[in-house]
């Protein structure tokens, strides 16, 4: 396989974001511990790296659209603390631990759960938002726990060219996983929105392995282009929010491309993304962890299909949708399978091709083959 060069420069130098939070207080740790470090880089390390962005004001970022009214109250919010087994599967979840091939397809993917996907693109591998820890939290004691094991350990993964990060929330940027990947895959390059790279530096990642971009900027690594696109969300690893940028990504190779939503609410800006970079052979779009209490920051299944249509209006029937951000962590009030149960009939009505692979199952987009296509009903027994 061809290897991508390890870039030494980027659109900006790197640095990152900050803070303390509820989990930190809950476990009673002091500054300097691993939990404190997992909170991320202090804010003063972030500011030099975001100060040139036209999207920040006073060191804080915002969304393009104003927030919509929230349909809920404090009592509804407290339901999150009392949800019990709501959002959990009824049985132990299955997963596919078959060895991954070392030969790279033109366009293929392996979904590990949540937003972690290994995409094969024109001779290279890109890993999105890798989270391998038991909990998406700075602590191993508190925080949402995994509902299925990781299908493959980090040292079992084939060579990875780029680790692609959408934003700095714990369920998308995990300290132990980042450090583990840096150790087991020493040639990997980390691509992040501006400010997020500071967390990586704070955790000991060589700055020469990190590239950052703001909305509207692109990063070229070898013959791949990573276009940083807007999203509707927020950032922060504790009580302090929005000091680092959040983003979606349109990734192009010489012959193929894919889209990665990260976390986002519905926004018309995806129409422009589709016009500029689409249609996409594969769209990784979040469908889970939605609620009327936070209508702007996560997509519901029907909104995910709207985004897919905006991105791929020029060739909708050939653009494959891989739903992500469901099944792995319990982050909302809806039932565990509600995202996929709502998505599939709506997609069928719109004639949008969807794949729902078992975690760990690889599939080839062009040949429509692989374990991912053979295990699409894996979730039904747990619904």
Instruction: Read off the pLDDT of residues 105-144 as tens digits, 9 standing for 90 and up.
Output: 999 999 999 999 999 999 999 999 999 999 999 998 889 9
Instruction: Read off the pLDDT of residues 243-266 as tens digits, 9 standing for 90 and up.
Output: 999 999 999 999 999 999 999 999
User: What pLDDT was estimated at residue 219?
Assistant: 98
User: Span 22-61+111-376: which CATH code?
Assistant: 3.60.15.10
Cβ atoms of 107 and 120 closer than 8 Å: yes
Cβ atoms of 135 and 202 closer than 8 Å: no
Query: CA-to-CA distance for 275 and 154, rounded, in angstroms?
Result: 36
Kindly state the tokens that stand for 46: 């972030």
User: What pLDDT was estimated at residue 75?
Assistant: 60
Query: CA-to-CA distance for 248 and 261, rounded, in angstroms?
Result: 5
Query: CA-to-CA distance for 27 and 39, rounded, in angstroms?
Result: 13
- Structural domain boundaries of the chain? 22-61+111-376
Query: 24 pLDDT exceeds 60?
Result: no
Q: Over pLDDT 70: what percentage of the chain? A: 88
DSSP 21-36: -HHHHHHT--TTSHHH
Partners of 252 in the beta sheet?
A: 225, 257
**46 or 131, greater pLDDT:** 131
Burial of 252: CB neighbours in 10 Å, binned 0-12, 13-18, 19+: buried
Instruction: Read off the pLDDT of residues 153-206 as tens digits, 9 standing for 90 and up.
Output: 999 999 999 999 999 999 999 999 999 999 999 999 999 999 999 999 999 999
């Amino acid at each position: 396989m061809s290897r991508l060069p390890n870039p030494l420069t980027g659109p900006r130098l790197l640095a990152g974001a900050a803070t303390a939070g509820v989990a930190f207080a809950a476990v009673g740790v002091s500054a300097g511990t691993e939990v404190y470090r997992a909170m991320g880089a202090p804010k003063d390390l972030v500011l030099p790296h975001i100060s040139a962005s036209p999207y920040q004001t006073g060191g804080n970022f915002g969304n393009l659209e104003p927030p919509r009214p929230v349909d809920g109250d404090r009592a509804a919010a407290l339901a999150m603390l009392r949800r019990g087994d709501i959002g959990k599967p009824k049985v132990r979840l299955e997963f596919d631990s078959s060895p991954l091939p070392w030969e790279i397809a033109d366009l293929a993917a392996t979904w590990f759960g949540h937003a972690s996907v290994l995409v094969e693109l024109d001779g290279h591998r890109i890993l999105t938002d890798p989270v391998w820890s038991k909990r998406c939290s700075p602590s191993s004691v508190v925080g949402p726990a995994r509902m299925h094991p990781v299908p493959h350990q980090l040292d079992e993964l084939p060579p990875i060219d780029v680790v692609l990060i959408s934003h700095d929330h714990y369920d998308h940027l995990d300290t132990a996983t980042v450090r583990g990947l840096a150790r087991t895959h020493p040639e990997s390059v980390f691509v992040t929105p501006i400010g997020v790279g500071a967390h990586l530096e704070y955790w000991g990642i060589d700055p020469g392995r990190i590239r950052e971009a703001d909305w509207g900027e692109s990063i070229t690594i070898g013959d791949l282009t990573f276009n940083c696109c807007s999203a509707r969300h927020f950032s922060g690893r504790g009580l302090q929010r929005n000091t680092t940028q959040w983003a979606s990504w349109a990734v192009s190779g010489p012959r193929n491309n894919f889209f990665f939503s990260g976390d986002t609410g519905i926004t018309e800006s995806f129409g422009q993304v589709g016009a500029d970079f689409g249609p996409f052979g594969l769209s990784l779009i979040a469908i889970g962890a939605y609620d009327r209490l936070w209508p702007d920051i996560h997509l519901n299944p029907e909104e995910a299909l709207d985004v897919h249509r905006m991105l791929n209006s020029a060739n909708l029937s050939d653009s494959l949708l891989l739903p992500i951000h469901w099944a792995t962590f319990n982050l909302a009030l809806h039932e565990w399978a509600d995202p996929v149960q709502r998505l599939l009939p709506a997609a069928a009505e719109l004639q949008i091709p969807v794949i729902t692979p078992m975690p760990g199952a690889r599939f080839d987009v062009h040949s429509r083959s692989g374990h991912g296509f053979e295990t699409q009903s894996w979730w039904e027994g747990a619904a």
